[in-house]
Amino acid sequence: MQRIANLIVLKDHQVLLLKKPRRNWYVAPGGKMESGESIYNAAIREFKEETNTIPIEPHLKGVYTMVVQDEHTDMENEWMLFTFVSHDLEGIPFEVTKEGILEWHPVEALAHLPMAEGDRTNLQFAVSGQGVQYGTFVYTHDFDLIKEDIQASYEGEKQ
């Protein structure tokens, strides 16, 4: 099962996003975990590779079960997504990479920039939600969102 870690930096009210060439959809920098890697180390490594910068004090904001249904074969492909936030980074990000174009946008732009609808839910929570979000997203093969089921929890002051 594939495991993807991604990371959104929110700094000075701006978020760093990667515009992918295929549909001009925006994503948070990230990629596949390697075998034996922790999700934390994977998020940092992938972010470094894709941006040429080091995220400062990343923190986990979401764990998602992703299901892609293929309507033709009735097969499902399931994978896990781990979404981190950082509030600072070290270095100057690439502008153009082999994965796409890196751009800073005002955090409010997450509401309307073109992206997968599940990513919008996740990235908005990562930059403004309290605690950790969980959920299942079911997509068609063309990445239309069929279903989402979301939960969240917050540790508060209980301890």
> What does the binding site for its own copies look like in residue numbers (CB under 8 A)?
1, 3, 33, 35-41, 57-60, 63-65, 67, 76, 78, 80, 82, 87, 128, 130-132, 134-136, 138, 149, 151, 153-155, 158-159
* Smaller CB separation from its own copies, 91 or 154: 154
Alpha helices in 9-159 (DSSP H): 39-51, 117-128
* Smaller CB separation from its own copies, 57 or 74: 57
Q: What's the CA gap between 7 and 104, in Å, rounded?
A: 14
Angle ∠(56,112,105) on CA atoms, nearest 5: 35
CB of 137 vs its own copies, minimal distance in Å: 10
CB of 153 vs its own copies, minimal distance in Å: 4
* Smaller CB separation from its own copies, 114 or 154: 154
Q: What's the CA gap between 54 and 69, in Å, rounded?
A: 35
CB of 53 vs its own copies, minimal distance in Å: 18
* Smaller CB separation from its own copies, 109 or 127: 127
Cα Rg of the chain (Å, integer) = 15
CB 129 within 8 A of CB 77: no
CB of 11 vs its own copies, minimal distance in Å: 11
* Smaller CB separation from its own copies, 99 or 110: 110
For residue 13, count CB atoms less than 10 angstroms from its CB and return exposed for 0-12, middle for 13-18, buried for 19 or more.
exposed
CB of 81 vs its own copies, minimal distance in Å: 11
From residue 137, give the alpha-carbon distance in Å to each of 12, 31, 156.
30, 18, 27
